[in-house]
A and B are shown apart, each in its own frame.
Chain A
Amino acid sequence: MGMNNSIGYYPGCSCSKNGLAKYYGESTVKILEHLGLKVSEIEDWNCCGSSLYRVIDEKKAYLLAGRNLVLAKKKSVEKIVVPCPACCISLTKTLQKIREDKELEKKFVEVYNTGKEDLSRIVVKHVVDFILNDVGLDKIEENVKNKFEDLKVGVYYGCQITRPYASFDDPEFPSSLERILSTTGVATIESAMKTKCCGGLLMLTNEEEVLKIIEKIMNSYIDRGAQCIVTACPLCHLNLELAKNILMKKYDVRYDIPILYFTQILGLSLGLESRDLGVSREDFEKISRKIVLTARR
């Protein structure tokens, strides 16, 4: 990794320090630092606009997401690492749109004094893609301190991590997370629903329908013996947590399994402290019995 200085980090609202997925953001940064990668948060970043702002004003939505690209460009950042799949889509789509749409490009020059040539070198990467394909499994394996023994982990991707623009994995049956987690010793549990949508924001507007979908998703892992479920998306994590709380009232302990970010499992395996990774005491107790220490170097 010769060009460490050119890696920027975009947390987005969910994974930032005031967001509900702050532990996803924190564990991501801790892991990357631990592996010796210098990533710097894009200073003064703003919300990517998600799919919501585009409903209000399309052009402004691109200007909004694009402001982050402009800030990155000013710091000569060439690669932006993003933990949230929805942010990843907004930023990628904006880059794509600036390339194709002359009128939008004109607007960018007018507002930011930045055109498509200036932004053409920027690559936006989801953190799963970055860890697997830029950091690499060798580097992780070298640094693994604890291996999990017999921990059955349901691997849930959700929909937007591989769709529609990402090209690092199969859009419907990806395997990147299983490959990353294979370094930690866990047994990954496959599900045909691993890229089924969790309902996203519809959890707020159409709770009843969304709960039915999530119950099926969780069943597909729990029926096969999953002892925890890992996610790589702030919204999937939140929706599963919300659903778990509701389902536990209905069915008691069946749904009482930890919902974790993949970075938390990976971090524990790299020897980071559970509190630095934001793993709650209860969740840690449930999974830590499955950790064995491999010989330290």
Chain B
Amino acid sequence: MSEVITLRLLEDSSIHTAIKKCIQCGTCSASCPLSHYMDYTPRKIVNMLRNGMYNEVLKSKTIWLCSTCYLCAVRCPAKINLGEFMISLRRHALSNGYNNAQEYLKLIKTYAEFIEKYGRISEAMLMINYSLKTNPVKAIKMIPFALNLMKNGLLSLRVEKVNDFQVVKTKT
């Protein structure tokens, strides 16, 4: 991993704070509803960063398995928000071309396309587009659920377009 990337990662405020303040108590890992599905617990991820294991962290399943439930954040004795920390790590993984979380990346891409085109999203369309891209068989299994939505007047395939929406073209 190049030094530039490392530096950018460490300058990210939520990552920086965690590395600086974590006391390795493990409260986050004990609280996390997803920790037993993760390859490294949330506490361990912080420690790995402290030990320069950037590659391993950005390749981990953990960063994509956080549901941003913020239980760790409200319990952490050092007031670290690991939910935000995980989002930042995802951003660094994405921008540095780590593509081991294919499904999630496709979800993000589909989502971004909607925002950039309309300024709003349609969950129904998002779910359909995403399923077709990732798992067409599952998309077929979803049909009864979709019919049920339709029966209840909930399957709108329309998306309203936001007027005067320049923000997505802004250079940041």
Task: Using CB atoms and an 8 Å cutoff, list the residues of chain A in contact with chain B.
Answer: 13-14, 16-20, 22-23, 44-47, 49, 51-60, 63-64, 67, 107, 111, 159-160, 163-164, 171-172, 195-197, 199-202, 204-206, 209, 213, 238, 242, 245, 278, 280
Choice from A45, A49, A60 contacting B162 with Cβ under 8 Å = A45
Interchain nearest-CB distance for B11 vs A (Å): 12
Q: Quick one: given A55-B87, A63-B170, A213-B33, are A205 and B107 in contact (CB under 8 Å)?
A: yes
Interchain nearest-CB distance for A13 vs B (Å): 5
Task: Using CB atoms and an 8 Å cutoff, list the residues of chain B in contact with chain A.
Answer: 33-34, 37, 64-65, 67-71, 73-74, 81, 83, 87-88, 90-91, 94, 101, 103-104, 107-108, 111-112, 114-115, 119-124, 127, 130, 144-145, 148-149, 152-154, 156, 158-160, 162-168, 170, 172
Cross-chain contact B119 with A199 (CB below 8 angstroms): no
Cross-chain contact A164 with B70 (CB below 8 angstroms): yes
Q: How far is the CA of A280 from the CA of B149 in the complex (A)?
A: 11
Cross-chain contact B87 with A202 (CB below 8 angstroms): no
Q: Quick one: given A67-B167, A206-B37, are A164 and B73 in contact (CB under 8 Å)?
A: yes
Q: How far is the CA of A274 from the CA of B88 in the complex (A)?
A: 43
Contacts of A245 on B, CB cut-off 8 Å?
144-145, 148
Residue of B nearest to A206 (CB): B65
Contacts of B122 on A, CB cut-off 8 Å?
13, 18-19
Q: How far is the CA of A67 from the CA of B144 in the complex (A)?
A: 38
Q: Quick one: given A18-B160, A64-B167, are A159 and B152 in contact (CB under 8 Å)?
A: no
Q: How far is the CA of A209 from the CA of B65 in the complex (A)?
A: 10
Choice from A57, A163, A164, A280 contacting B172 with Cβ under 8 Å = A57
Contacts of A56 on B, CB cut-off 8 Å?
91, 94, 108, 112
Q: How far is the CA of A202 from the CA of B124 in the complex (A)?
A: 16
Cross-chain contact B67 with A199 (CB below 8 angstroms): yes
Choice from A60, A160, A201 contacting B70 with Cβ under 8 Å = A160
Interchain nearest-CB distance for A270 vs B (Å): 22
Q: How far is the CA of A245 from the CA of B124 in the complex (A)?
A: 17
Contacts of B107 on A, CB cut-off 8 Å?
52, 201, 204-205
Residue of A nearest to B154 (CB): A20
Cross-chain contact B145 with A242 (CB below 8 angstroms): yes
Residue of B nearest to A193 (CB): B33
Q: How far is the CA of A47 from the CA of B81 in the complex (A)?
A: 24
Contacts of A57 on B, CB cut-off 8 Å?
172
Q: How many contacts A-B (CB < 8 Å)?
A: 142
Cross-chain contact B172 with A44 (CB below 8 angstroms): no
Cross-chain contact B65 with A197 (CB below 8 angstroms): no
Cross-chain contact A205 with B74 (CB below 8 angstroms): no
Contacts of B70 on A, CB cut-off 8 Å?
159-160, 163-164, 171
Contacts of B37 on A, CB cut-off 8 Å?
206, 209
Cross-chain contact A200 with B68 (CB below 8 angstroms): yes
Contacts of A164 on B, CB cut-off 8 Å?
70, 73-74, 81, 83
Known: A44-B162, A55-B94, A205-B107. 7 other contacts (CB 8 A): A46-B119, A55-B108, A58-B88, A63-B167, A64-B115, A163-B71, A245-B144
Cross-chain contact B68 with A63 (CB below 8 angstroms): no
Interchain nearest-CB distance for B148 vs A (Å): 7
Contacts of B74 on A, CB cut-off 8 Å?
163-164, 171-172
Q: How far is the CA of A22 from the CA of B160 in the complex (A)?
A: 14
Cross-chain contact A47 with B104 (CB below 8 angstroms): no
Q: How far is the CA of A209 from the CA of B34 in the complex (A)?
A: 8
Q: How far is the CA of A204 from the CA of B67 in the complex (A)?
A: 12
Choice from B127, B144, B162 contacting A204 with Cβ under 8 Å = B127
Contacts of A111 on B, CB cut-off 8 Å?
166-167, 170
Cross-chain contact B120 with A47 (CB below 8 angstroms): yes
Interchain nearest-CB distance for B23 vs A (Å): 19
Q: How far is the CA of A196 from the CA of B90 in the complex (A)?
A: 23
Cross-chain contact A60 with B67 (CB below 8 angstroms): no
Q: List 29 A-B contacts (CB under 8 A).
A: A13-B121, A14-B123, A18-B124, A20-B149, A20-B154, A22-B154, A46-B120, A47-B119, A47-B121, A53-B111, A55-B87, A55-B91, A56-B91, A57-B172, A58-B91, A59-B172, A63-B172, A159-B67, A159-B69, A160-B70, A171-B74, A201-B67, A202-B34, A204-B103, A206-B37, A206-B65, A209-B34, A209-B65, A280-B152
